[in-house]
Amino acid sequence: MSKYEELLGNDSERVCFRYPDYDKIKESGLTCVDMHFHTCFSDSYTRVSNALSLAKKRGVGLAITDHNLIGGVLKAYESNDKDGPLVIPGVEISTWGGPHILVYFYTIDEMKEYWEKNVKPYLARCPWLAIDKGTEWVIDSLEGVNCVVSGAHPLGYLASVKGIQKAIDHKRLDADLAKRLDAYEVICSGMFRNENIKAWEHADEYGIGYTGGSDGHLLSELGNVLTVSETDSVDGFLDDIRKHRNAVMGHEKFLITKMIMAMTSLSRFATMYPISSFAKDIELIWYHGTKNRPVSGQKEQ
């Protein structure tokens, strides 16, 4: 852990709350990846090309994890230079009922195969909103898939149940479900410090690993939270998360940045899918308590 300790400021923990020093990162010999970043392929205005350019400038990699869609990742792989940043194939699945699940794949083909079978058929009219399948169904569908699965912002955002731990705390899901994940996102810059610490504590309680990401919707957020590994390949990086050999470093956003990010995301939704977004909210309220979206309007018992 000597390389980690040097980068993390001689911190004995694998989780360090501090702003990344990009100059130190370039000198460290470590691979640092923002594992949760959005582009214009979902609820952000950030172009993939701009994200790749900034990642290269800062000496970090990124996982493009758009909501339920993989077009941003495919674009990144098509346009990335040979000396460009490491790109981890990923997607953030918004499950019916609330929790968001981050899925990272070892190859583009494996990502496409999973998405075509298990996400695409259940997309809403606005594909960025919750798919028609619940958290348990999604986790079941990932059994045997060559991937790493992490619970995004486990304590959710404010009053929402967009984190699996919040759903567990509210008795909507069983804690055993979290134990089936590979990791929790223990630093998400959109969360408050106490929420990230709780996510870290729960990850240790469940015996699962750590990931960290900015949940960035603004270009400037890229790299504010990083998952750190000693390996520089996708395979090695994801294996390190699975085997609990990685570290996480980063810092939460200032309140004003959180507000700007929220307005950016909402404006993207409003301009692209104003009617379907509203309709989906009504459906979530109407079918509250169901595991998946009922077929043909029939409420599950």
* 249: helix, strand or coil: strand
The closest alpha carbon to 143, from 116, 118, 174, belongs to: 118
Q: At what angle do helices 71-79 and 108-118 cross, to 10 degrees?
A: 160
Q: What is the pLDDT of residues 84-141, one digit of tens each?
A: 999 999 999 999 989 999 999 999 999 999 999 999 999 988 898 899 999 999 999 9
Alpha helices in 171-294 (DSSP H): 175-178, 193-206, 234-242, 255-272, 274-286
pLDDT at 291: 81
pLDDT at 294: 78
CA 72 to chain centre: 14
DSSP annotation string for 201-233: HHHHHHT-EEEEE--B-SGGGTTSEEEEES--S
pLDDT at 295: 66
Contact 225, 213 (CB under 8 A): yes
Give all domains of the chain, ordered by start, each with its CATH number.
2-297 (3.20.20.140)
Q: Which residues of the chain have pLDDT under 50?
A: 296-301
pLDDT at 288: 67
pLDDT at 51: 98
Q: Which two tokens stand for residue 89?
A: 């194939």
